[in-house]
Chains A and B, each alone.
Chain A
Amino acid sequence: MGSPRWHKILADLRVSRSRTILVILSIAIGVFAVGTMLTSRIVLQDGIEESFDLANPASAVLTTDPLEQDLVDALRALPEISDAEARTSIAARLQQDDDSWRSIGLSAIANFEEIQIDRIIPESGAWPPATGELVLERLSADDAGLEIGDAITIETADGSRHTLTVTGLAYDPGQVHPSIGDGSLAGYITRETVAYLEQPTGFNDVRLLAAEDPRDLRQGEFVAALARDEVLEPGGATVNRIAVHDSPRYHSALLGDALILILGLLGVMVLVLGMFLVINTITAVLAHQARQIGMMKAVGGTRGQIAAIYLLMVLAFGLMAVIIAVPLSALGASAFSGFFGNLLNIDVSGPFFPPSVVAIQLAIGLLLPLLAAIIPVLRDTRITVRQAITSYGLGDSANPEGMLDRFLERLRGVPRPVMLSLRNTFRRRGRLVLTLSTLVLGGAIFASVLTINASLGGTFDQVMRYTSYDVVVSLRESVPAETAISEVESLPGVEQAEGWIVTNAARLRPDGTQNSNIRLTAAPTDSDRIRPTLLEGRWLQPGETDAVVINVDFKNDEGDINVGDTIALRVQGQDLNWPVVGVVTTQLMGPVVFAPYESTTELLGIAGEANQIVLVTDTHDAATQSSVAERAEEQMRAAGLPVIEVETESAMRDATQSIFNILVILLLVVGGLLVVVGSLGLTGAMSLNVIERTREIGVMRAIGASNGQVAKIVVTEGLVVGLLGWLLASILSLPMSWALSYLIGVAFVQSPLEFTFSIAGILLWLIVVLVLSVVASLFPARNAWRLSVREVLAYE
């Protein structure tokens, strides 16, 4: 590499150092962004899969009245069931430092050393815990601020309180961070501790593993029904609920899907953006070299030789960019997936250099710049010696025949310096198209990201609008609604109370199988406490009987139900064959069917009864809600009503909000990254425009233009490009964000997001564009006028 032409290249690179850095940085940022997105995607996907493998999740979980080991053994003996384990699950509450209560699910495990289904992995401290001790799920400890050694007060459903000591932490891969789950904490105890808590020690939580396809939803439903019908019920046990794919892990899989989808989509978009950035910069650098090329030809360089030099130079740029970007993107992906991994309760362990992503990065970093360079290199190396050495002047104008030129020609009222800016803007058509493409794409993605963000907000409101009550009291069994309502109706702050039935239901499919994973909500048809957003059909009419509305989760899970079809439901042993009159949006709680309260309770033989009391308070703030909740609970317990849970609307809102926040954080991180990529693209494109016109600036100085006048011309030009790019970006962002919110909505909430176009997004981008246009054109212009006219004109 000792030949003069390499010296020349190296010298060129050194001399135009800022341009070299700009090119390398442009490529590097693109490579980095793509690498971070795609690697995070792989790492999270692997992590989620691993967590399933680690857990060995149950095919189905049956909630029963207490039963003994012999029935579990009988289940194990079934050939369709490869394994069965039982636990004692206790829904309880834990007293926090501020005396407020937080729900905790306690699982009593018979043999801690041999958990085969929904495995729990000890992390630190005791394993198994001794009597009166508790092992906490690691994220529960984290979220509740508890540590090994802490003593906690537990209140069980009957109101009795006991103290437990936290002696260990464990990783339960079936759980996710409480903030994105149902907010409930998770702890593990022995059966002796169940007795210590004065709870029935029989098993009430039976976990089954299907022999065939254990993670298949249909297999889960099949073995669950089999277990109930062949073993448990004949054996005298009562099955209260069947849950298939109903763990927080499964629920968060939707969130994970949405995350992974967003990462993939944005990764591709950033990739395209990065491509434009690279093409843009390389083209500009080469344009600048035109005269050098002529000179090399003058001293005998062939076109091939010269082209090779430039292509190798471009390859060198790319190589440097890749060397910078690949390790950085591993760091980025590690931080990114670490953050989301914590929420999803998965251990992200890499790979942070997945070969497929590194290959893509190499392709973007090395091949793309080469491809981008080939056309300009071939074009510019065609320059003749004469053209090159006589290019002292200011070059030729674009073909003045275009409509735009004729329009600009006619712009008579505009001050000449401004007209100069306008004409300059449109002078290099190809360059303008490239600059604009980068700008438009960056802007459109940025605006789309904020629109998705806003649409998520809209969808969140939609979910929260679903029900409009302030407090909901759940009872273990149904009681006469009048009795329960009269206990709470007259409490201060309570305005209205309504009795509902919420229970488990199974859909009996035409092929004889069933989906037992459905929640039935029966509210009075004239209730205005429930107003879901309709996707198809209509809502239940006041006084209507014998009709149901299903939510989109139900419809998608089953796949064969349309408005007008009659579906068969089994609810508390009774069969119900009612037509579906409408489909509503999700509430992020899985499949739900809505039925008229009056006809449902009649059919179930519990006319006038309710197992859920919803309250409306006079003011709807969190404080009022929780004080009413507390008093309602006391009052109803005192009256002997079997209260199992009291929830406030604001607590539910917070829980839902935090799920949305995950996506919002992701989008903001990506939005930030885009601002950087977009800004860099804008800065690069603008600066190169100005740098290319250094000579022209010199001429203007020679004929009397002051600093301010040069600045005005250059900045106007930057602003024109910036504004044009912004305008096109705003237009493009509409279809783009619509498509994105459709895709993300279907992945996340199973229906398109409630599309809310973010005006703030395009305004924010406008500000970014304005600031960057000025800065990016002013700085190189300053450099240009700092050069004395002599340097510009004589020795360029």
Chain B
Amino acid sequence: MRADNARPLIHLRDVVKTFDTAAGPFTALDNVSLRIDPGEFIAVTGRSGSGKSTLINMLTGIDRPTSGELLVCGESLKELSENQLAVWRGRNLGIIFQFFQLLPTLSVLDNVMLPMDFAGNYSSRERPERAMALLDQIGLGDHAHKLPSGLSGGQQQRAAIARALANDPPLLVADEPTGNLDSETADSVFRLFEQLVDSGKTILMVTHDDELAKRTGRHIVMLDGRIVSATDDELVTAARTPQPEGALHG
């Protein structure tokens, strides 16, 4: 841990995101400011539609803010083109999706090596060794040569985590990584995150599981596009009104 590092890993100031919808402009993020230091483990919760995924998309450069400042891993994302963003992502952060998104035609090992191929920051001889090491670390060493379709959901998510770690990025971002897993499997994935944080990674995770959220170092709650102070009980309660999520949006 480098808690003494003065520079934040993520810094959002007055970030606004509006979408043009048929019903007029819709503000999905409303003046969000946020500072995250290296080594933090953060959970973001909030009811469906509160802006969690939109926030994640801002941080990962998957989408761009309408206004506001955005500094991630030392880079002001505003200035990067889509192409530069892709390259930047490959080196600086690992993304973990709710539905794993492993490439079905590649073996698990190949999937893990792919980001290294793209980024080109390990020698081609190092890549397989490193990928194997990562898979061993997350307990998938025996499945390295299988296709993703041969793995269970939990195993696929672990493989996706290994892929996110491929280029040893300082930051991991996960949008509902356990949303599609049973609670036991979800727990094992979460424990993997804890290990990673212990080893120095910064992790930002969207979840709707309050029990998991409580176990992280910092808990952010969102409501209607705003970050609600965790001490404001009333708002937190409102924000926590259970909402089934994930399955039917999109």
CA distance A639 to B101 in the complex (A): 98
Contact string against B for A residues 680-702, beta-carbon threshold 8 Å, 1 for contact and 0 otherwise: 00000000000000011001111
Tell me, rounded to whole Å, the shortest Cβ–Cβ distance linking A328 to chain B: 38
Q: Does A705 contact B (CB under 8 A)?
A: yes
- Of the listed residues B95, B102, B114, the one surrounded by the most CB atoms of chain A closer than 10 A to its CB is B114
Given contacts A397-B147, A786-B82, A788-B82, contact A795 B95 (CB under 8 A): no
**Which chain B positions have C-beta within 8 A of A392?**
98-99, 250
Tell me, rounded to whole Å, the shortest Cβ–Cβ distance linking A514 to chain B: 76
**Which chain A positions have C-beta within 8 A of B63?**
788-790
Q: Is the pair B105, A704 in contact by a Cβ cutoff of 8 Å?
A: no
- Which of A393, A415, A701 is B86 in contact with, Cβ under 8 Å? A701
CA distance A379 to B57 in the complex (A): 36
**Which chain B positions have C-beta within 8 A of A789?**
57, 60, 62-63
Q: Does A396 contact B (CB under 8 A)?
A: yes
Q: Does B26 contact A (CB under 8 A)?
A: no
Q: Does A793 contact B (CB under 8 A)?
A: yes
Q: Does B181 contact A (CB under 8 A)?
A: no
Tell me, rounded to whole Å, the shortest Cβ–Cβ distance linking A35 to chain B: 41
Chain B contributes a number of interface residues (CB within 8 A of A) equal to 44
Closest B residue by C-beta to A397: B104
Q: Does B149 contact A (CB under 8 A)?
A: yes
Tell me, rounded to whole Å, the shortest Cβ–Cβ distance linking B242 to chain A: 20
Contact string against A for B residues 76-118, beta-carbon threshold 8 Å, 1 for contact and 0 otherwise: 0000001100110111001101111111111100100111011
Tell me, rounded to whole Å, the shortest Cβ–Cβ distance linking A668 to chain B: 42
Q: Does B148 contact A (CB under 8 A)?
A: yes
CA distance A424 to B105 in the complex (A): 6
Q: Is the pair B118, A700 in contact by a Cβ cutoff of 8 Å?
A: yes
Given contacts A423-B106, A704-B118, A707-B83, contact A389 B100 (CB under 8 A): no
CA distance A582 to B4 in the complex (A): 104
Q: Is the pair A699, B91 in contact by a Cβ cutoff of 8 Å?
A: no
- Of the listed residues A390, A419, A703, A793, the one surrounded by the most CB atoms of chain B closer than 10 A to its CB is A703
Tell me, rounded to whole Å, the shortest Cβ–Cβ distance linking B67 to chain A: 17
**Which chain A positions have C-beta within 8 A of B60?**
702, 789
Q: Does A313 contact B (CB under 8 A)?
A: no
Given contacts A702-B95, A704-B115, contact A419 B89 (CB under 8 A): no
Given contacts A415-B117, A416-B114, A789-B62, contact A706 B87 (CB under 8 A): yes
Q: Does B119 contact A (CB under 8 A)?
A: yes
Q: Does B6 contact A (CB under 8 A)?
A: no
Tell me, rounded to whole Å, the shortest Cβ–Cβ distance linking A309 to chain B: 22
Closest B residue by C-beta to A394: B104
The SS class assigned to the A binding surface is helix
Q: Does A1 contact B (CB under 8 A)?
A: no
Q: Is the pair A709, B118 in contact by a Cβ cutoff of 8 Å?
A: yes
CA distance A785 to B166 in the complex (A): 22
CA distance A424 to B250 in the complex (A): 26
Q: Is the pair B82, A785 in contact by a Cβ cutoff of 8 Å?
A: yes
Q: Does A794 contact B (CB under 8 A)?
A: yes
Given contacts A400-B147, A786-B82, contact A416 B110 (CB under 8 A): yes
Q: Does B22 contact A (CB under 8 A)?
A: no
CA distance A795 to B62 in the complex (A): 13
Q: Does A376 contact B (CB under 8 A)?
A: no
CA distance A417 to B62 in the complex (A): 22
- Which of B82, B110, B119, B248 is A704 in contact with, Cβ under 8 Å? B119
Contact string against A for B residues 218-250, beta-carbon threshold 8 Å, 1 for contact and 0 otherwise: 000000000000000000000000000001101
CA distance A702 to B106 in the complex (A): 17
Q: Does B163 contact A (CB under 8 A)?
A: yes
CA distance A796 to B250 in the complex (A): 7
Q: Does B167 contact A (CB under 8 A)?
A: yes
Closest B residue by C-beta to A391: B99
CA distance A700 to B104 in the complex (A): 12
Closest A residue by C-beta to B156: A393
Q: Is the pair A793, B101 in contact by a Cβ cutoff of 8 Å?
A: yes
CA distance A785 to B53 in the complex (A): 20
**Which chain A positions have C-beta within 8 A of B103?**
394, 420, 696, 699-700
CA distance A705 to B86 in the complex (A): 6
CA distance A700 to B87 in the complex (A): 11
- Which of B105, B114, B148, B248 is A703 in contact with, Cβ under 8 Å? B114
Contact string against A for B residues 126-153, beta-carbon threshold 8 Å, 1 for contact and 0 otherwise: 0000000000000000000001111000
Closest B residue by C-beta to A396: B149
- Which of A696, A706, A793, A796 is B97 in contact with, Cβ under 8 Å? A793
Q: Does A161 contact B (CB under 8 A)?
A: no
CA distance A796 to B164 in the complex (A): 23
Q: Does A395 contact B (CB under 8 A)?
A: yes
Q: Is the pair B163, A703 in contact by a Cβ cutoff of 8 Å?
A: yes
Q: Does A218 contact B (CB under 8 A)?
A: no
Q: Is the pair A703, B89 in contact by a Cβ cutoff of 8 Å?
A: yes
CA distance A423 to B101 in the complex (A): 17
CA distance A703 to B98 in the complex (A): 15
CA distance A707 to B163 in the complex (A): 20
**Which chain A positions have C-beta within 8 A of B107?**
409
Q: Does A427 contact B (CB under 8 A)?
A: yes
CA distance A521 to B98 in the complex (A): 89
**Which chain B positions have C-beta within 8 A of A705?**
86, 90, 118
Question: What are 24 A-to-B residue pairs whose CB atoms are below 8 Å?
Answer: A392-B98, A392-B99, A393-B100, A393-B104, A397-B105, A397-B148, A400-B147, A416-B114, A417-B114, A423-B106, A695-B101, A700-B118, A702-B62, A703-B90, A704-B91, A706-B83, A706-B86, A706-B118, A788-B63, A788-B64, A789-B57, A789-B63, A790-B57, A790-B62
Other CB < 8 Å A-B pairs besides A396-B104, A706-B83, 7 of them? A696-B103, A702-B60, A702-B86, A702-B97, A790-B62, A790-B63, A794-B250
Query: 7 tightest CB-CB pairs across the interface, nearest first?
Result: A704-B90, A423-B105, A392-B99, A397-B104, A789-B62, A790-B63, A393-B99
